[in-house]
Structure 1
């Protein structure tokens, strides 16, 4: 199992990467909030165009983040992200969709897959779970946005299955990185959420701890379990273990910052 480590780029951007991806030459990264131009409450590397931040500033931040990773910002493909379970296959004709203008993003979608080289996939987060997937054998990648709704709907699992259908990916070949997001230490949910978890996860009791009439939910483990269920190997899954709500000086957190905050980005390309 690899590690998730923070890096400081020459252009001032701080970001994290998964060592198992990096040693295979996969360009990728998960941004922090450090190294951008946005002002409060989006300080400073806000990558979300739908937050109320200045659009030109966000575009500068996206360019800086992509530059730090060695990616071309103009070619990045993004999605609307509606907390669903739709996975979209991305081709050359999608290059640049949503990179600069939110209304041009792929609509109604929370996961992207491709086998096209040098075509960055990029999604945005502020507590939800970034799941990055690499198939080094069939040469394909995927990325998922897994909040509690997407996690319960098993979007990470469905992303791997979409890669299997489109690119003959074998789950056992996949490398997976589960990025910084709200951790079980800070993520309290109510019975409504847990009832949905019970119906879809056989080991749901391992994912939620009762706490004064509510539950502390472990989204990291829920995503890990659904991937193991379809044959992804445990040793090929790296969990960053970093809670965004506990680390607001470094990451944006929708819950800890009362909904008025920016977005980190996760990006990956072949």
Structure 2
């Protein structure tokens, strides 16, 4: 069953909600945006969430406000990172709340994962094919987001995020629930030699069977391969100690469904960005 339920109202932003999580944990709010229902124009039409893609800043900020209004959060809660395709994790404190919401000038620098146990902080991250990873520790009311392109995946950003939550909040990986959101699927993501070599090295270290490796890295005779980043990140989450039954895995592919999502690869790099979000509501 698909975990991310599409919710498109007549006038509001296109949202993909982790409805089961929200019904199970009453203070948790989390999901992923689509590409429709915003105010951006041209290549960024219409719900572009990224300030870094040369869209009009005013349009992006308006789109971000559309999201916070739709989910019932104050815009001042919006907090985001720079994202540099690494594996650094930033612990978001009360003092970080709101950074990056209006400008790149105060965005959280040089990190691709952010975590917090501060109620009222809305963590956000940006995508146009890369894999959004969600983490929630219900025992300590701590949440995290991680941005995993192929580079972050090879650097095992999911493992780094779990370790950071263990150190900061006392998180037990077995108590975590996790989710892997809409991103490019193995059906659409073709890579070449240098990427294949690094992914092969990663998969070797995960102690997988040859059949499992071949299902995630389907090589062709021309020296290229189709890469299933979503399943690879699921395996990395399992390596980090998260129980398989507590990991939600989406079937949405950003490459196949360009009517619903932006796709950097399928649109030649000139496109908008979706946002993931997660936060614990204040009491």
Q: What TM-score do you get using the length of structure 1 for normalisation?
A: 0.96
- 1:100 is displaced (CA, Å) by 0.7
Equivalent pair of 2:131/2:181 in contact (CA under 8 Å): yes
Aligned CA RMSD, in angstroms, stands at 1.4
* Structure 1 partner of 2:6: 6
Q: How many residues align?
A: 270
* Structure 1 partner of 2:19: 19
State the Cα deviation string for residues 8-34 of structure 1 (Å, max 9, x = none).
357511111123321112111100011
Q: 1:11 to 1:168 in 2, by over 3 A?
A: farther
Q: What is the alpha-carbon distance in structure 2 between the residues aligned to residue 240 and residue 93 of structure 1?
A: 33
1:207 aligns with 2:224: no
Q: What is the alpha-carbon distance in structure 2 between the residues aligned to residue 96 and residue 80 of structure 1?
A: 13
2:140 corresponds, among 124, 138, 141, to: 138
Q: What is the alpha-carbon distance in structure 2 between the residues aligned to residue 173 and residue 2 of structure 1?
A: 22
* Structure 1 partner of 2:31: 29
Equivalent pair of 1:28/1:69 in contact (CA under 8 Å): no
Farther off after superposition, 15-24 or 169-178: 15-24
* Structure 2 partner of 1:59: 61
Q: Structure 2 matches for 1:166-205, cutoff 5 A?
A: 166-202=168-204, 203=208, 204-205=213-214
Equivalent pair of 1:21/1:134 in contact (CA under 8 Å): no
Q: What TM-score do you get using the length of structure 2 for normalisation?
A: 0.92
Q: Structure 2 matches for 1:1-270, cutoff 5 A?
A: 3-9=3-9, 11-23=11-23, 24-25=25-26, 26-202=28-204, 203=208, 204-211=213-220, 212-270=222-280
Which secondary structure state, in structure 2, belongs to the residue aligned with residue 232 of structure 1? coil
Equivalent pair of 2:36/2:46 in contact (CA under 8 Å): yes
Equivalent pair of 1:36/1:64 in contact (CA under 8 Å): yes
- 1:235 is displaced (CA, Å) by 1.0
Which secondary structure state, in structure 1, belongs to the residue aligned with residue 158 of structure 2? helix
Equivalent pair of 2:186/2:229 in contact (CA under 8 Å): yes
